[in-house]
Amino acid sequence: MDHFVDGNALAGSLRQVFRPDITTAEARCAGCGAVRPVADFRVYTAAPGAVARCAACGQVTLQLVQSPGALWLGMSGLSYLRFPPPGR
Ligand SMILES: [Zn+2]
């Protein structure tokens, strides 16, 4: 669990799901309530997909898995994502 990269590693994959750059969004951790940019996530990529954890408490915030027929995104560890208004 000590080998991770930051949340910017999710930018390319999540661009397939979200039109705006999700790494600029603020995310609220469902575990501890911390509100931080997605770019602050700790992302673990030594798995079939990517697992992102809250930098404050370590809770899994989202999972992203690419299968041959689909892209799966789980976000049960987030209370919300807040995007800046368009044009910023
Ligand atoms: Zn947390």
Residue 13, domain member (yes or no): no
In a domain, 47, yes or no: yes
Note the pLDDT of residue 37: 93
Please tell me the distance between residue 57's alpha carbon and the centre of ligand 1 in angstroms. 4
Domain for residue 9, yes or no?
Answer: no
The per-residue pLDDT for 29 is 98
pLDDT recorded at residue 19? 65
State residue 47's pLDDT score: 77
Identify the domain containing residue 52 by its residue range.
26-88
Ligand 1 mean position, distance from CA 71 (Å): 25
Is 11 part of any domain? no
Structurally, the chain folds into a number of domains equal to 1
Flag whether 17 is in a domain.
Answer: no
- Could you tell me the distance, in angstroms and rounded to a whole number, from the CA of residue 34 to the centre of ligand 1? 5
Give the predicted TM-score (pTM) of the model. 0.76
Q: Which amino acid is at 66?
A: Q
Q: Are the CB atoms for 7 and 52 separated by under 8 Å?
A: yes
59 close to 50: Cβ distance less than 8 angstroms: no
Q: From the CA atom positions of the chain, what is the Rg in Å? A: 12
Phi and psi at residue 27, in whole multiples of 5°? -120, 140
Residue 16 has what pLDDT?
Answer: 66
Residue spans of the chain under pLDDT 70: 1, 16-20, 86-88
CA-based nearest residue to 43, from 60, 27, 26: 60
Ligand 1 centre and the CA of 35: distance in Å?
8
Q: Which residues contact 2 (CB under 8 A, 6 or more apart)?
A: none
In a domain? residue 64: yes
**7 CB-contact burial (10 Å; exposed 0-12 / middle 13-18 / buried 19+):** buried
pLDDT for 86: 63
